[in-house]
Amino acid sequence: MQLTKKLTLASKSKIRAAILSGAGLDFSVQVSGVDEDALKNTHKGAAEALALALAEAKAKATERAAGDGGLIIGADQILECDGVLYDKPDDMEEARHNLKIFRGQTHYLVGAVVLVEDGQTVWSHCGRVALTMRDFSDVFLDAYLATAGEQILSSVGGYQLEGLGAHLFAHIDGDYFSILGLPLLPLLNGLRVHGGLVA
C-alpha cells in the first residue's frame, strides 16, 4: 500500500512487524530502549493509561534516536485479570503459575498504539479484548508448556494465540490483531488521517 511518509515501528516484536508486513506496509524497525519496568513500577491507575504511556514513551524515544522524521508507531499491551496487571513471565514456572490463575476465568488484554511525529503524539488508540480460558487440567497445562516451550515467555499472557495457545481458550470477544499486540484496523485509519497512507 502506498505510504506518503516514512514509517518506523518502535518495537522488536516479530509479530507486530509481521502484521504490518502482511498489510503491505513498508517500514523500518527501531528498538526504543525505554526502561519499561521503571514506567510500570511507578504507574498508578488504569491499565489503559499504562499501555498508552508505554506506547508513547517507546515511540518518542525511537524518534529521538532515529532523528530522521516520518511517523513512528509505538505499541504496548497489558494483561489484566481480577484487577491485577500481569507482564511477560520471567520463566516457565511463572508462566505455569499465571496460566493456573487465568484458567476458567476471563481476563483482558489492553492494547495501545500511537503515532508520533515531530515529537508530538498525533494519534492514539486503546482497546480492550476479553479472553476466557477453558478450565483445563494440570495434565493439559504440563503438555502445553512442554510443547510450546520458552517462546511463550515473549507473550504477556504466557500464550501465543496464533499458535498452540488457541487450545487454552473457550471464548474470545474482540479484535484478533489486538490480541496479537497491534490493533491494525484502527492503526490503518490513523495512518490515513495523518497522511501516512493514501486513502
pLDDT digits (tens, 9 = 90+) for 117-139: 998 999 999 999 999 999 999 99
* pTM of the model as a whole: 0.89
Can you tell me the distance from the alpha carbon of 18 to that of 72, in angstroms, rounded to the nearest whole number? 17
The residue ranges of every structural domain in the chain are: 7-193
The one catalytic residue among 35, 37, 76, 90? 76
Cell for 182? 497491534
Cell for 10? 518502535
- The stretches of the chain forming alpha helices (DSSP H) are 14-22, 36-42, 47-66, 92-102, 138-148, 176-180, 184-193
76 among known catalytic residues: yes
The pLDDT mean for the chain works out to 91
pLDDT of residue 177: 93
Cell for 99? 496460566
Can you tell me the distance from the alpha carbon of 178 to that of 191, in angstroms, rounded to the nearest whole number? 17
What are 31-49's pLDDT values in tens digits?
Answer: 877 878 787 888 777 899 9
Instruction: Indicate the pLDDT class of residue 196, thresholds 50, 70 and 90.
Output: low
pLDDT of residue 71: 92
Say if CB 186 and CB 127 are below 8 A apart.
yes
Does 102 score more than 90 pLDDT? yes
For 7-193, the fitting CATH number among 3.40.50.300, 3.40.50.1970, 1.20.120.430, 3.90.950.10 is: 3.90.950.10
